[in-house]
Structure 1
């Protein structure tokens, strides 16, 4: 947390925005906490099989508590970003609010809009059987045999997603490309500025084509 907080704070120095040091330090600190949590969540099962040390297992932290801490970190990052002043805050919001939420949902095997199927039965399960009971899809005794959930195509672990995120930032694909793969989810997303009339160069728009306040509800 200390290292990521210092790294985020230094961007305020590089940008000539010393007033952003405090909120970016907080955002970076919480980003470091989230990286630690999600790495532990994603590795917990394989660590148990291999006998490797895992912080969640070692401390007896329930998965529900890890999820609460992760959600709190994402919320704290959003609040910290609101206290920072950006010439154009849309890209920071996309990366550190929306994409982090996708990463948390993916790590914990949930989606932001998950809901039970018709009649109160979770989608994909037989009525009258608990979701993971024998006879439920994907479990022994199911009518058509076991059907394990296929891996999500294109999804990345948290640290690999951070590397992809850095590459997308350095190449400006998140701003100027017509579409790009989300660094963690792997889903196709629209570039922030590709629809602007900028003659192919979003840097010539004088900051007008990516105004966060005019196109994105930052409370979502």
Structure 2
């Protein structure tokens, strides 16, 4: 259950947390109900945005029919809960399955981990094919043609093969943008608000761009160590330029949301206008506002956020393993080359992901190891010291947003 939008439950407040969990559980149960127990491993935080957007546009009378009471679940402490159901959850499930199928095929093609072994690769291909067919059926059931997703994935492979230094980064992100634009736009069709399709397609296109960018930034060091392909490295794109593109995409999403007619859009607004901004800060390791402050242009001498830090910090040419001290801003802060854990294979990662779900570590642990990447990740409820959000006074408003409908504050943004 991973994605770029991972909100803190304290910032959500009790009401929105309940809604968010309803969509998360609804996606998980839609996968199980339509496609079997094993399909639940593709549950992800970003996929539930489809369900959230669909319900946010629906008339309240209709939306009432999109909830049901689910039975006890270990992830809810064996409690029952009201969960999302209906076309929004089913569309989210179909999109998640198709994209997961593509990811498995990509891992098989790269021979990652245990997938380098022929028997395991054969089994993984069968799983991927099964998920692809299931996603196609699920999409057809709600009037969505998943061919646009499959086509985008197929084109991605060819684009990456041809990309090199000087290739515009947005050329590489285009297939992802096209796929997410189609999924976001179809929520307007399901909700009976066709006028929302155009702005939602724009929001989805930019969300896909942002997802691709943040994934590339977070994986940059690990990909370099493993010799794996990374869009930033392949195209020669700097972190400062990647951040500029990410900020532009975030601003565009907020502008697009202004043109969407929501019936009850508080949760969608908070996730896409506020939490998405925190995701950008988390990926780049900064809490800066993203505006240009330097005197030497849009990004200043070192970019709007200064020199890269952490694993992206520049190394001292004289001593690349020197500790990072106030007098030596270069080098490795740990005093040596940090260990690079090997990624898990697909099946091993699935087993770990199920364990994280069943033990609630993905939500409650301060830190846990990613099931596939083995990168350190924060638990959903970690780092809540700055919480204010919707139940705690004025939210830290986003720039370019005309209002903060997720709270009752009188913000200047």
**Range class of TM-score, shorter chain:** 0.5 to 0.7
More helix by share: 2
Q: Tell me the matched-pair count.
A: 156
Residue in 2 aligned with 1:215? Answer: 408
Residue in 1 aligned with 2:52? Answer: none
Residue in 2 aligned with 1:69? Answer: 245
Distance in 1 between the 2:226 and 2:188 partners? Answer: 42
Distance in 1 between the 2:183 and 2:410 partners? Answer: 27
Residue 220 (structure 2) pairs with residue 44 (structure 1)? yes
1:10 to 169, 186, 203: 186
Counterparts of residues 19-98 of structure 1 (less than 5 Å) = 19-98=195-274
Distance in 1 between the 2:222 and 2:258 partners? Answer: 37
Q: Structure 2, unaligned stretches of length 5 or more? A: 1-176, 291-323, 339-364, 374-378, 392-403
Cα distance 1:126–1:46, how it changes in 2: closer, same or farther (>3 A)? closer
> Would the aligned equivalents of 1:56 and 1:62 in 2 still touch at CA under 8 Å?
yes
Note the C-alpha offset of 1:102: 0.7
Q: Which has the higher contact order (CA 8 A, sep 6+)?
A: 2
Note the C-alpha offset of 1:89: 1.9
Note the C-alpha offset of 1:215: 1.9
Cα distance 1:113–1:21, how it changes in 2: closer, same or farther (>3 A)? closer
> Would the aligned equivalents of 1:132 and 1:139 in 2 still touch at CA under 8 Å?
no
> Would the aligned equivalents of 1:9 and 1:22 in 2 still touch at CA under 8 Å?
yes
TM score, norm. by length of structure 1: 0.59
2:329 to 131, 136, 143: 131
Note the C-alpha offset of 1:191: 8.6
Distance in 2 between the 1:11 and 1:3 partners? Answer: 13
Measured on the aligned residues, the alpha-carbon RMSD in Å equals: 3.5
| Secondary structure in structure 2 of the residue aligned to 1:215 | coil
Note the C-alpha offset of 1:27: 0.2
Counterparts of residues 183-202 of structure 1 (less than 5 Å) = 186-188=382-384
Note the C-alpha offset of 1:212: 1.6
Cα distance 1:82–1:52, how it changes in 2: closer, same or farther (>3 A)? same
> Would the aligned equivalents of 1:44 and 1:56 in 2 still touch at CA under 8 Å?
yes
Q: Structure 1, unaligned stretches of length 5 or more? A: 115-124, 141-145, 161-179, 194-210
> Would the aligned equivalents of 2:219 and 2:230 in 1 still touch at CA under 8 Å?
yes
